[in-house]
Chain A
């Protein structure tokens, strides 16, 4: 907050943003030794003035909203007064701002653009490169043995399943947003299509999970094409709002088409997955009896965990392989420059549609897994906020980076769990954290990308800023 005059004129404008970022980073790195520090008295006065302004703003923001709480009473609304929290908020803002001004932002009242932080969260590209294969093997080995490790109880398995589901969704959306550069704000629609396809097929035609899984994927991909077709001509934010609208349309239709989808009541009694026809239940035909084990409900959870693990790994593997196929290269080319793409004879229509369909298909798989895991689905699980969270995972991790998505999902999930005790403050903190992380690292937590194609044949990681963001 405050100090509105600090930033130079160069800070605006989007033309040549990469070069500009670089220059600005240089400028900031070279700054402290050359800036004359004002006399300490001036600095204290400036810092105090700034902190007082910040405190006054906090008072204006929090005063009426926190201090005066409207309560429902007989014959209208009444007010209850809560001035202590207001005082705390104002004091925290005032002191925080003062301390930051005095001890952190040392360049004489000038706020450093936080975007230009040069330190890295992760090791540099070369170091990462060395650990690529060992790291990957270790991670996969860990995920395979995890259910049998001593700490893996019901709670940890559930968390692991949630993390893997969101990884899969993130990887699916990454095809559309990260590779093809098409901003899709309605991804949850395909998740819903997958879940409802499976639920309806299973409850109406008595089909099992393994039969429905490919069908759900195909249906979701079909919807991807249907939604993709009309939006081909749209670009940027127009595309974003139309995909958002589609997501909402599908949800509203699910809520209101009562005869077909059971409306807001949802669908229950969705069958559980079986292992080659062996169900995970108590009894003579159950998994435990067939294999001569003691029955335990955790067996089903572990089975679900392996299903989503395989699905997620398949998603990742297929995406990585697709990047090397002509269609994957066309996606990335489309993201870098659509006009150049067309000039070189790439069919942008097909390229966009395949991206939508592929992303949607993965969403559909994840959706049917969600349905079989929960055993019950309702439209409440498929709101727009879900789309936002998936998109946030993709962007927070680092657009186009498969590893980044895993890191972002684990980070957000950990934050959710750690803050569980804080109840209603949880979402407030998560929202603020999203803002702060993005301000701190606009290109995501993972700062390097591996190019799919190089002239020398040896891929060397490049900075995330050098990768295009697409205009579609």
Chain B
């Protein structure tokens, strides 16, 4: 098989995986930007999102046999349901675990986040069972791009959907942050929450909406994960969460394009490492890159260096 072909195939796989990480990473980076805390429960919000999506898929009875237009419609409905319900989860977690601790000691919300993460995992384990949930492939088919010596480079429909959806969401999201009044309020809170509140911005509401938006994007990532991998369980949130957070830090935490870039990089590193070196050490590779990147660029690739004031 040709090297070029193999490389292209891995590139496609890596970009798909990176898109999923990027969508989760946005939730981390926005929350960090606005209140400066690691929302450790975000990985589990992604997991809840994937379960809500799965339940919606089963309720609607979507399968590979569904006609094309109905399938698209059903998928949109599933994504909308997952986004809405997961957003409620995100809002509730913020309300219970983080808001009472606003302005308090830095480590306290970190511990409540860990507590929430444990709670969500066990809640799903009890309510949905501990065993893995296999899903029949729903979106099938794809295109062959090139072929050499029997090795076919393929891009599947689901990969196209994931990447396109991510690009659309990213574009919409960037517009929301840079153009709308909500985005302006968010950026104001990020810079100086007290000043923003003096200027009449409801800081609590803005922070809640940040969690809601982060959770909704994580839900999209969750639905895509179900469709792409076809297997989920209550524990997927931890590793995906750590990877996505790694992506957010790598890209420069607090920066939206950084989160997307970091997600893509982590996805690519993981895929290429698995393809060319060893699949066992792919997590080690991703984390090592993070460590090395941070040693040379302590505030990430696109992050602003922190200015220390005395």
Contact = CB atoms under 8 A, between A and B. Distances in A.
Contacts of B242: 244-245, 248, 384
Interface string B84-123: 0100110010011101111111111111101111111111
B198 interface: yes
B163 to A, nearest CB: 26
A247 to B, nearest CB: 10
Interface in A44-63: 57, 60-62
Interface in B204-256: 204-205, 208, 238, 242, 245-246, 249, 253
A237 B253 contact: yes
Contacts of B197: 9, 12-13
A330 interface: no
Interface in A358-396: 384-385, 388, 391-392, 395-396
Interface stretch (A66-74, A163-171, A272-280, A300-308): A66-74
Contacts of A248: 242, 283, 287
Contact of B54 (A5, A70, A442): A70
B281 A256 contact: yes
B290 interface: yes
Contacts of A465: 105
Interface stretch (B7-15, B133-141, B143-151): B133-141
Contact of B246 (A14, A15, A233, A241): A241
Contact of A14 (B36, B88, B117): B36
A233 B295 contact: yes
B115 A432 contact: yes
Nearest to B116: A435
A70 B194 contact: no
B54 A241 contact: no
A10 B193 CA distance: 10
Interface residues of B, number: 87
Contacts of A62: 127
A1 interface: yes
A434 B55 contact: no
A234 interface: yes
Nearest to A389: B114
A76 interface: yes
Interface in A65-97: 65-66, 68-72, 75-79
Contacts of B198: 9
Given A234-B298, A248-B283, A339-B310, A61 B89 contact: yes
Contacts of B104: 17, 21, 115, 442
A26 to B, nearest CB: 15
B151 to A, nearest CB: 28
Contacts, number: 232
A10 B196 CA distance: 11
| Residue among A255, A339, A432 facing the most chain B CB atoms (10 A cut-off) | A432
Contacts of A240: 38, 110
Contact of B136 (A12, A76, A241, A242): A76
A320 B115 CA distance: 30
Contact of A113 (B100, B115, B278): B100
A68 B310 contact: no
A442 B98 CA distance: 11
B58 interface: yes
A391 B287 CA distance: 21
Contacts of B55: 64-65, 68, 70, 79
B111 A1 contact: no
B53 to A, nearest CB: 10
Contacts of A205: none
| Residue among A7, A114, A246 facing the most chain B CB atoms (10 A cut-off) | A7
Interface of A: 1, 4-5, 7, 9-15, 17, 20-21, 57, 60-62, 64-66, 68-72, 75-79, 113-115, 177, 183, 230-231, 233-235, 237-238, 240-242, 244-246, 248-249, 252-253, 255-256, 339, 384-385, 388, 391-392, 395-396, 399, 424-425, 427-428, 430-435, 438-439, 442-443, 465, 469
The 9 A-B pairs at the shortest CB distance, nearest first, are namely A434-B115, A431-B118, A431-B119, A9-B197, A245-B287, A442-B108, A13-B194, A428-B122, A435-B115
Given A13-B192, A65-B123, A438-B108, 14 more contacts: A12-B102, A12-B197, A14-B36, A60-B88, A61-B88, A64-B85, A68-B55, A68-B59, A79-B55, A249-B283, A384-B238, A435-B96, A439-B97, A439-B100
28 contacts: A1-B96, A9-B198, A12-B102, A60-B85, A64-B85, A70-B129, A70-B133, A71-B129, A77-B135, A79-B59, A114-B100, A115-B104, A230-B295, A235-B298, A238-B253, A238-B299, A245-B287, A252-B280, A253-B284, A256-B281, A392-B114, A431-B116, A432-B119, A434-B118, A435-B96, A435-B119, A438-B109, A439-B112
